[in-house]
């Protein structure tokens, strides 16, 4: 099968199209014929070797967490079933024509959902959902700041928080304020501008780094900062220590997200669809930002 591998850590130039044997599913696993692959910011970070100290990968390595396609064989799903899945972050394997996925990480998708949309859902939307539902669990009426609220993780956090009746303050670039309000935020905090409104009860961060630190100083005493970003928020005089949350593949939660996307309750925009061969361009686009939706690869 055609697959993109990294033979070693490095820049986008290490991504190579190659021929690999089709992987075989083991117990509790399913072989999926991949029709679309979601590109995540983490893909480029794994490629660079940012996580090698705690999770070195065997080389050559196939990157890619998010796939959508049809079941070929394996446990619990009939051949031909249309599915989406998040692969395990340590083993990955999505940038290929076929991928082996844990049956517990799979959700079926409706006939009228495109594979591109389905592949855009798993990692980012599970992250946003888990930040809200598993990690923070905010109460209705609480004032929660969500940074990067129009990004792929942020939109999902916004959806999950709104569903709980949270008062959402979306922290976005100043020129996207209207869009954030239309997406369900009650208020908007422009990143880089001083916040003069009421303090926040909690913060959900999807950006990290120094740019969000001034906003975090408006947290009420006892408030929490939960973050998906591996870029530390400078800790000086922050009212709370940021709690990092790492996403976990979960088929039941993914099925819930697929239903929300299918019903129109959770918008998951697709930014660009590129052929698998252009994995390097796709990762560069994701790293550069400014995309109005998910970047998708097609094998």
Ligand X SMILES: NC(=O)c1ccc[n+]([C@@H]2O[C@H](COP(=O)([O-])OP(=O)(O)OC[C@H]3O[C@@H](n4cnc5c(N)ncnc54)[C@H](OP(=O)(O)O)[C@@H]3O)[C@@H](O)[C@H]2O)c1
**By CB under 6 A, is residue 249 in contact with ligand X?**
no
Q: Which residues pair with 160 in a beta bridge?
A: none
- The closest alpha carbon to 166, from 182, 151, 186, belongs to 186
Q: Which of 36, 124, 254, 276 binds ligand X (CB under 6 A)?
A: 124
Q: What is the DSSP letter of 101?
A: E
Cα distance between residue 208 and residue 217, in whole Å = 14
270 binds ligand X (CB under 6 A): no
Which helix H or strand E contains 226, and what residues bound it? strand 225-227
- To the nearest whole angstrom, how small is the minimum distance from the Cβ of residue 124 to ligand X? 4
Q: In whole angstroms, how close is the CB of 245 to ligand X at the nearest point?
A: 6
Question: How many chain residues are in contact with ligand X, going by CB under 6 A?
Answer: 25
What is d(CA 221, CA 211) in angstroms, rounded to the nearest whole number?
Answer: 21
**Interaction between residue 103 and ligand X (CB under 6 A):** no
What string marks each residue from 213 to 232 as x (binds ligand X by CB under 6 A) or -? ---------------xx---
Cβ neighbours of 271 (radius 10 Å): 17
Task: Give the shortest CB-76-to-ligand X separation in angstroms.
Answer: 26
Asked whether position 152 contacts ligand X by CB under 6 A, the answer is yes
The residue range among 21-29, 92-100, 256-264, 285-293 that interacts with ligand X, by the rule CB under 6 A, is 285-293
The footprint of ligand X on residues 44-83 (CB under 6 A) is: none
DSSP state of 24: -
Place of tokens 């996403």: 247
Q: What's the closest the beta carbon of residue 44 comes to ligand X, in angstroms?
A: 9
Among 62, 191, 204, 297, indicate the residue that binds ligand X (CB under 6 A): 191
Cα 93 from Cα 142, distance rounded (Å): 40
Task: With contacts defined by CB under 6 A, name the span among 1-9, 218-226, 245-253, 261-269 that binds ligand X.
Answer: 245-253
Tokens 């959700």 correspond to 107
CA distance 274 to 163: 33
Instruction: Tell me the closest approach of the beta carbon of residue 212 to ligand X, in angstroms.
Output: 7
Q: How far is the CB of 259 from ligand X (least distance, A)?
A: 21
Residue 246: both structure tokens together: 């790492």
32 or 120: CB nearest ligand X: 120
- Nearest CA to 212 out of 226, 194, 192 is that of 192
SS3 189: strand
Instruction: Report, in Å, the least distance between residue 191 CB and ligand X.
Output: 4
Q: Which is nearer to ligand X, 71 or 161 (CB)?
A: 161
Q: For residues 178 and 163, what is the distance between their CA atoms, to the nearest angstrom?
A: 20
* Candidate list 75, 133, 179, 211; residue touching ligand X; CB under 6 A: 211
Shortest Cβ distance from residue 68 to ligand X (Å)? 17
Q: How far apart are CA 234 and CA 138, in angstroms?
A: 24
By CB under 6 A, name the binding residues for ligand X: 40-42, 123-124, 127, 148, 150-154, 173, 191, 206-207, 211, 228-229, 245-247, 289-291
């Amino acid at each position: 099968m055609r697959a993109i591998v990294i033979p070693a850590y490095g820049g986008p130039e290490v991504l190579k199209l190659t021929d690999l044997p089709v992987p075989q599913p083991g117990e509790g696993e399913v072989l999926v014929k991949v029709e679309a692959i979601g590109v995540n910011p983490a893909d480029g970070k794994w490629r660079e070797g940012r996580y090698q100290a705690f999770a070195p990968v065997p080389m050559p390595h196939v990157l890619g967490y998010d796939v959508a396609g049809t079941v070929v064989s394996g446990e619990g799903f009939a051949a031909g079933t249309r599915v989406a899945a998040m692969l395990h972050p340590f083993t990955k394997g999505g940038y290929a024509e076929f991928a082996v996925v844990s049956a517990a990480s799979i959700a079926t998708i409706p006939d009228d959902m495109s594979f591109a949309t389905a592949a855009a859902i798993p990692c980012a939307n599970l992250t946003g959902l888990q930040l809200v539902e598993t990690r923070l669990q905010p109460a209705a009426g609480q004032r929660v700041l969500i940074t990067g609220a129009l990004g792929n993780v942020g939109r999902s956090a916004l959806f999950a928080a709104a569903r709980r009746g949270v008062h959402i303050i979306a922290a976005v670039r100043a020129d996207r304020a209207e869009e954030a309000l239309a997406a369900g935020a009650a208020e908007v905090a422009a990143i880089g501008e001083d916040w003069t409104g009421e303090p926040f009860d909690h913060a959900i961060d999807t950006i990290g780094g120094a740019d969000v630190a001034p906003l975090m100083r408006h947290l009420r005493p006892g408030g929490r900062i939960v973050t998906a970003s591996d870029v530390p928020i400078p800790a000086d005089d922050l009212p709370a220590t940021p709690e990092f949350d790492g996403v976990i593949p979960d088929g039941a939660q993914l099925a819930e997200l697929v239903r929300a996307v299918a019903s129109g309750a959770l918008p998951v925009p697709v930014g660009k669809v590129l052929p698998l061969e252009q994995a390097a361009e796709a990762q560069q686009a994701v790293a550069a930002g400014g995309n109005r939706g998910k970047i998708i690869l097609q094998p």
